[in-house]
Every structure is written in structure tokens, then in C-alpha cells.
Amino acid sequence: MNNKLIKTELGVIQGLYIGKERGKAKELVNEIQVSENYGVVGDIHAKEGKHQISLLAEETIMKFDDSNMDIGKFEANVIIKGIEINHLQVGMKLKLGDQVSLEIKQIGKDDKRIEDHYLAMYRAGIFASVKEGGKVCLGDHIELLS
């Protein structure tokens, strides 16, 4: 049996967001600092648990008719492009940039209070815990670690 770590490049980071206040759109930033077992430093949703950081595919956002909508309202920390969301599963590990590694804990949410702009996160949002922290910048690559 081969126990070698296999890396497969999946996509690129298109947007990074930090939410400072509940109920307000997250703000676009050029880089984020991610802390192990916590989440995005400065983000209202960062805490211990399985939803430390959230990701959403740009392709999912583009399905919305309102092109003027602030992407920060989708409430994802990381917007990604070029990744096949349908192939991801709970338990898979992702690497963002050169430093940050995540473990997918949940895909989508089970919540009856869905509003229009939340629909994307509730159906296709990726929620992960941080296994290794570090800095993530716009344009960094995302890899699947298996």
C-alpha cells in the first residue's frame, strides 16, 4: 500500500472576506490570517467547532440573477473558482496557498430560515475546521490532499 500524500490542484482563490458584525455583509480583503482550530482572525464566525471557515464556489454565486449583489452577503470567507464542488465530501482535506490546511466538516446547511442570498451557502457552502493555520492571499491555489 502506498501512503504517499497526493496533491491535486483544484482551483484558485477569487475572493477573501471577513465579517466584523452579525447581519452585515462580509468585507473584501486581500489576505486573511487563519488560526488553527479557530478560523479567520477577526471574523465574527471564527470559533472552535466545525464551522471555523466557510468556502463557496464563484460558479454558485454566478447563478444568482442580481449581478449587483455584494458578494460579502453570501457570508463565505473564501470564494473559489475552478473547483468541482460536487466531488468534495465531508472528511476531505484542502490546502489553501502554501500554509493553510482544512478538513471539510459539512457541505450545505439544514436550516429552514433560508433567505435568497443565503440559498447558495445553505445548498453548496463548504464548512471546514482549520488543521494548520497561516496566511491566505487572493490568487492562491487550492489543492485537495488525499
User: In the chain, where are the structural domains located?
Assistant: 7-145
Q: Answer positive or negative: Cα dihedral of 64, 114, 72, 12.
A: negative
Q: What is the CATH number of domain 7-145?
A: 2.40.33.20
The sheet carrying 31-35 orders its strands as 39-40, 31-35, 134-137
Tens of pLDDT, residues 77-95: 999 998 877 778 999 999 9
Residue 38 in grid coordinates: 479557530
pTM: 0.83
| The pLDDT of residue 2 is above 60 | no
- pLDDT above 70 covers what percent of the chain? 77
- According to DSSP, residue 70 is labeled -
Instruction: Report the C-alpha gap between 125 and 114 in whole angstroms.
Output: 13
